[in-house]
Amino acid sequence: MDNYPVLIVVAPLLAALFSGLAVWIEERLSYPIALTGLAISVFSAFNVLLQVITSGPIQYRMAGWAPPMGIEYRIDLLNAMVLLLVSSIGFLNLVASYKSVKQEIYDRAPSFYIVYLLFMTGLLGVTATGDLFNLYVLIEITSLTSYAMVALGDRDRGPLASLNYVFIGVIGASFYLLGVGYLYMQTGSLNMADVAHILQSHQESSIVLTAFILCIIGLWIKMAFFPMHVWLPNAYSYSPVAFARVVAPLMTKVMVYVMIRLMITVFGLDYIFKSPFLADAVVWLASIAIIFGAVMALAQKNLKKMLAYIIVCEIGYMVGGAWMGNQLGMTGAILHILNDALMTFAMFLAVGNIVYKLKDVELFNLTGLFGKMPWTMAGFVLAAFSIIGVPPTCGFFSKWYLILGAFEKGAYHFAAALVISSLICAVLFFRVFEICFFPPISEDSGHKKSHSPVVMAEAPVSMLIVSGLVSLSLIVVGLYSGTIVNTIIIPFLK
């Protein structure tokens, strides 16, 4: 079937609308409908990836109009990989979410699934599209749904976190839209390939430079790159777990993808790296972001907040790698989109299981978790190793490429920041392990301190299976890093 590219995006949208109807007729239907929609999406994404690997990029014309007139989906190796990643994480998280949604937002669970599906539609659409304005519309859907979701989380602090997110997010989206407007003024077109073609003859124009800066700053705000990150930690830690698990790995990563897409496909790497000053400044900023994120993570007392700051740090890796200006750095950045999405997802799945049992994840409350939830903690340890960058897990390989890229460019400060942040992550996670390893000391035993018996109380099986699967995939993806780089990333960059 030739319609797979559009089915990836439209299947969740249709599912959202059908569950929108089902909510009023038979509430219980909305979960299976959501599951079906995302399953179709995963299946289509898988087919598209196979097709792209075997027979090159796919172009899909909406309404049959030729590209500059109509909107087109242009799916190459990079999109196809990110599409499969996004849709499968969305699907797996939905499988794991049934119980936790029931527990957390019992009274409006069916509506939760609708918003969730719309959020996935937005992310998938952003990834698949080959049109600058279409991308903006879908960013709008993604943002709007995440504002709603964040406000739905923590009853006290969720709404305020969401309000901050709304203000900053709207500014980010406006910057991007303004940039697209400037591009339209210079080119008269919105199709990425067409714009890129026209821009070839306007390299010196001040409009193009302004457009570029506006678009990139808008995306940086959306991806929470260092000075614009203030909305992220609160927004992610106060949202409902079922949503945090999907927004934390995907939202920022998809925005990094958009940045790379603009850099490579629309403006062209030659244009961006014409003057070394800009790229150098961004790499410096990225190094600061990495150190800042790691140090702030060290200062947190809440597990969710700590992970949120680690995301700020990881964004620094990807932006720095992409702006390194050489193939190794870009390879590292793209590989890190995949790896970081997977390991953040694995991490948040484990945290989700803990929240399901413990309700809150203040670090001092986590005592004795290894005994209580051994399987969850196994997943947690794997994800932590991957974030630190221990060799067989996937996190190591993308960091390796990033460091090689930094050495090739001579950006030793970036390499140093990367190593230091990895060490800080190691300290961070071993501190958590230490707290979790020892059972709580019982209060009533007087001067004779004895350990209270630990009873195993694991999260539901559906959550454990997903968590285990994703954690194992960290090792599998790590072992096959070479294959991924050689079949997807290198051919894409050529």
Partner 1 sequence: MKFLGVIIVCLTGGLLLYGTTDFPDWGDPSSPASTHLSDYYIEKTIEDTKVPNIVTSVLADYRGFDTMFETAVIFTAGLACFILLRDFRGKKERFYRHKPTGVVLHVKDGKKTLTVGKEFEHMDKDWVPSDLIIKTVCRILIPFIQIYAMYVVAHGDFSPGGGFQGGVIFGSSLILLAISYDLKTLVNRIKEKVLGIFAALGVLIFVGIAAICMPMGGNFLDYTALAPLVWDPHHVRALGMLGVEIGVGFAVMAVMAIIYINIVSEGRHDEGL
Q: Which residues bind partner 1 (CB under 8 A)?
A: 3, 6, 10, 13-14, 16-18, 20-21, 23-24, 60-65, 68-71, 107-108, 111-112, 114-115, 118, 121, 125, 131, 133-134, 137-138, 140-141, 144-145, 147-148, 151-152, 182, 184-189, 198, 205-207, 209-211, 213-214
Render the burial of 12-22: b for 16+ CB within 10 Å, e for the rest: bbbbbebbbeb
Of 145, 148, 142, 143, the C-alpha closest to 162 is: 148
Min CB(288)–partner 1 separation in Å? 16
Q: Which residues on neighbouring strands pair with residue 199, listed in sequence order?
A: none
Single-letter amino acid code for the residue at 373: M
Min CB(108)–partner 1 separation in Å? 6
- Whichever of 27 and 362 has its CB closer to partner 1, that residue is 27
Q: Quote the tokens at residue 14.
A: 């249709």
Single-letter amino acid code for the residue at 257: Y
Q: How far apart are CA 450 and CA 470, in angstroms?
A: 37
- Whichever of 33 and 297 has its CB closer to partner 1, that residue is 33
Min CB(201)–partner 1 separation in Å? 11
Min CB(323)–partner 1 separation in Å? 19
Min CB(274)–partner 1 separation in Å? 17
Min CB(151)–partner 1 separation in Å? 5
Long-range contacts of 299-303 (CB under 8 A, 24+ apart): 301/362, 301/363, 301/364, 302/237, 302/360, 302/361, 302/362, 302/363, 303/351, 303/354, 303/361, 303/362, 303/363, 303/366, 303/432
- Whichever of 16 and 342 has its CB closer to partner 1, that residue is 16
Min CB(484)–partner 1 separation in Å? 30
Helix (H), strand (E), coil (C) string for 252-281: HHHHHHHHHHHHHHHHCHHHHCCCHHHHHH
